[in-house]
Amino acid sequence: MSRRVVITGQGAISALGQSAKATVSAMMEGVCAIAPLEFPNADRLSVGIGGQIKGYDPAAHFSRSELALFDPFTQFAVLSAREAVAQSGLDFDEALSLRSGVVLGSAGGGLQTQDENYRLVYEEGKNRVHPFVVPRLMMNAGSSQLSMIFGLRGACYTIATACASSNHAMGQAFHAIRGGSADVMLTGGSDSMLCFGGLKAWEGLRVMSSDGCRPFCATRNGMVQGEGAAVFVFEELEHARARGANILAEVAGFSMTADAGDIVVPNKDGAARAISGALADGGLSAAQVGYVNAHGTATAVNDRTEIAALRTALGPAAETVAVSSTKSMHGHIMGGTGAVELLPCIAAVKDGVLAPTVNYDTPDPECDLDIVTNQARDQRVEVAISNAFAFGGLNAVLALKRFS
């Protein structure tokens, strides 16, 4: 019999708040944290807005030696993990450390470090860079730092599958515990790509909005990028029960598929197979799903494709399921976005409150499911699913259920 996996801790930092509690609270209040960007050369960008974390002081959280090694994406992962582990109440002793690991997702890794040092070399003509550039920019920096900080000696790695990275990572953590190779995993994702080079590259794709993120709204005109992280403690149920842990939700199922089609255009069938697969993996029916945290990027093709995929996967049940995209508030956090978006899924099954899609003003006839618009909704939810659909045609869907 497969082992059950539960969530016993959560931590986060985003444009909405510098903790999981603050982030979720702002989501439920419908706060939009998308604002003008503030960093060098931001005035040279045509988009000009993003879900940037404002009022953040790295020196208040890390020593000088740590900051020499930690790119912002690593800082965000560490802060989130500290919060999650503290909430879980776990003490990683010798035995547990051998049965615990880390799997994070990231699309950009230490992109800010990379961008700044390319600028120093190519623009300013510097002939040397800091000796810690490589440890700062490598994709596994966040995962490795968490393993060292908490003494976790099981599997430790980072998954990079563009915007599905966090969901893939959390799915692998779920599999590790359910399959018996671990008892505890720190998992989630982190990205901090709000810098001149990072955003200038995205501008080239012509999918960015310069005036706001409006998923599923007829007036939407593109995505808005954000930054941040979320980390969760996934734990085997009996291990959590034995120590009297407070259980936030149960991870019921996970599925991942590939479209094997276009590198940037999503495919309804691939997404639908991932949604159906996550439910089948958890032994769940479409009728049990009460809430979907959509990928919802606010590009015309993504939103319409996702709605069509939900109809295909859920059948008649799609007409009554509540759907929202919190990217409208915190922006698209790229590889870290699925982790931040698991927070409202936990809130849905645990507290019965659904985060809204803000900035919504005009219905789109092709996105006509039950979109939770502009204000949070109180509604008991037994099962919530979180969608992540990435460039490359990669789909990863997690299903959570109310713990009982």
- Residue after which a domain boundary falls, among 197, 216, 242: 242
User: Which segments of the chain have a pLDDT < 70?
Assistant: 1
Q: In what order do the strands lie in the sheet with 100-105?
A: 156-159, 100-105, 184-191, 228-236, 5-14, 249-258, 394-401, 383-390, 289-293, 322-324, 370-371
Per-residue pLDDT, 1: 63
Identify the active-site residue in 168, 239, 330, 332.
Answer: 332
Q: 371, 216 in Cβ contact below 8 A?
A: yes
Identify the active-site residue in 295, 330, 345, 367.
Answer: 295
Is 349 found in the same domain as 214? Answer: no
Q: 10, 88 in Cβ contact below 8 A?
A: no
Is 264 found in the same domain as 217? Answer: no
- Does the active-site annotation cover 239? no
Is 258 found in the same domain as 237? Answer: no
Per-residue pLDDT, 404: 87
Q: What is the CATH number of the domain that holds 122?
A: 3.40.47.10
Count up the domains in the chain and report the number.
2
Is 214 found in the same domain as 261? Answer: no
User: In this predicted model, what pLDDT tens digit does every residue of 247-258 receive, in sequence order?
Assistant: 999 999 999 999
Give the span between the Cα atoms of 399 and 385, in whole angstroms: 4
Is 321 found in the same domain as 181? Answer: no
Is 238 found in the same domain as 258? Answer: no
**Reduced to 3 states, what is the DSSP secondary structure of residue 357?**
strand
Domain that holds residue 37: 5-242
Give the span between the Cα atoms of 164 and 295, in whole angstroms: 9
Per-residue pLDDT, 244: 98
**pTM score of the predicted model:** 0.98
Within 29-164, residue ranges assigned H as helices are 64-69, 72-88, 94-98, 111-118, 133-137, 141-150
Identify the active-site residue in 163, 213, 345, 367.
Answer: 163
- Does the active-site annotation cover 175? no
Per-residue pLDDT, 2: 81
Is 212 found in the same domain as 143? Answer: yes
Q: Which two tokens stand for residue 278?
A: 């996550």
User: 24 lies in a domain?
Assistant: yes
User: 200 lies in a domain?
Assistant: yes
